[in-house]
Amino acid sequence: MAGRVAGKVAIVVGGGQTPGETIGNGRATAILLAREGAKVVVADRNLASAEDTVSLIRQEQGEATPFRADATREADIQGLVATTVERYGKLDILHINVGASIALGDAPADEISEEVLDRSFAVNFKSAWLACKHALPHLRKDGGSIVIISSLAAWNSYPWIGYKATKTALLALMANLAAAEAKYRVRVNAILPGAMNTPMAIEPRVAKGVPREEVIASRDRRVPLGGKMGTGWDVGYAALFLHSDEAGFITGVSLLVDGGEFITAGSQGT
């Protein structure tokens, strides 16, 4: 199959999605990678959600396999990488999409519980480190690409400490690995999405009691470019580029996908 990532084997960690009306970043990325010729292992702790992504890919005659993994557990990640290599013979692309804030009970630093802080660290940071640790021996064989989904929250003000701290720590992981792995031709980059209209961002705020129209309108207002949030596809296309050979000389980059929010410094961080 021809395509921008033709012949490559990819893992998308967190490739299912939070239920909702729009497409998530991880699902959109998995679909685009498959559409452009990659074989994609869609890993999620929610197997049914990974299976939904895989059936969307198969509807387009793409090649994908669902896999149940809790990304905070080392044994699950080891199983994911081993199964991928066993099934498809190699690994070229690791895409790390798992992340959550409000859904974990995130809170300001003077209010957050120890348990929620530990959970936030495990879900947002430890999961990414584990995936890199176990994917790297395979990625090094023939060069490869890692993209870690951080957040504009790493650079802008953001009210809740778990997400803020762990999304910043992911940039340190990215920089550390980009420097260390360059000699193996493994590129490591991060994407910092701004306000995206994905269920992960909208549904927990609606569940907290804020009317949906208000959640959407206040997030739209933050975005200079067209006054509208981005979509999962915007993150997916940025990821597709970074994972493709078109980005063959790009490593150690933190790529904003935020419709100009950071450069105008207009965010209230909510």
Ligand X SMILES: NC(=O)c1ccc[n+]([C@@H]2O[C@H](COP(=O)([O-])OP(=O)(O)OC[C@H]3O[C@@H](n4cnc5c(N)ncnc54)[C@H](O)[C@@H]3O)[C@@H](O)[C@H]2O)c1
Which one of 201, 216, 240, 255 is in contact with ligand X (CB under 6 A)?
Answer: 201
Which one of 62, 66, 162, 232 is in contact with ligand X (CB under 6 A)?
Answer: 232
Q: Which is nearer to ligand X, 45 or 134 (CB)?
A: 45
CB of 16 to ligand X, least distance (A): 3
Rounded CA separation 40/185 (Å)? 21
Pairing of the two strands 9-13 and 186-193? unpaired
- Based on the residue annotation, tell me whether 158 is a catalytic residue of this protein: no
- Does 66 help bind ligand X (rule: CB under 6 A)? no
Which one of 40, 123, 147, 223 is in contact with ligand X (CB under 6 A)?
Answer: 123
Which one of 66, 144, 199, 236 is in contact with ligand X (CB under 6 A)?
Answer: 199
CB of 50 to ligand X, least distance (A): 7
- Does 11 help bind ligand X (rule: CB under 6 A)? no
Give the active site residue among 158, 163, 184, 237.
163
- Does 71 help bind ligand X (rule: CB under 6 A)? yes
- Does 267 help bind ligand X (rule: CB under 6 A)? no
Sign of the torsion formed by the C-alpha atoms of 6, 178, 16 and 268: negative
CB of 263 to ligand X, least distance (A): 16
CB of 176 to ligand X, least distance (A): 19
**Which segment (16-24, 108-116, 209-217, 242-250) binds ligand X by CB under 6 A?**
16-24
- Does 46 help bind ligand X (rule: CB under 6 A)? yes
**Which segment (21-29, 78-86, 113-121, 236-244) binds ligand X by CB under 6 A?**
21-29
- Does 99 help bind ligand X (rule: CB under 6 A)? yes
DSSP characters over the chain:
--STTTT-EEEEET-S--SSSS--HHHHHHHHHHHTT-EEEEEESSHHHHHHHHHHHHHTT-EEEEEE--TT-HHHHHHHHHHHHHHHS---EEEE----SGGGT---TTT--HHHHHHHIIIIIIHHHHHHHHHHHHHHHH-EEEEEE--GGGTS--S-HHHHHHHHHHHHHHHHHHHHHGGGTEEEEEEEE-SB--HHHHHHHHHTT--HHHHHHHHHHT-TTTTS-B-HHHHHHHHHHHHSGGGTT--S-EEEESTTHHHHT-----
- Does 259 help bind ligand X (rule: CB under 6 A)? no
Alpha-carbon radius of gyration of the chain: 17
Q: Which residues are catalytic?
A: 163
Contact positions vs ligand X (CB under 6 A): 14, 16-18, 24-26, 44-46, 49, 69-72, 97-100, 123, 127, 149, 151, 193, 195-196, 198-201, 232
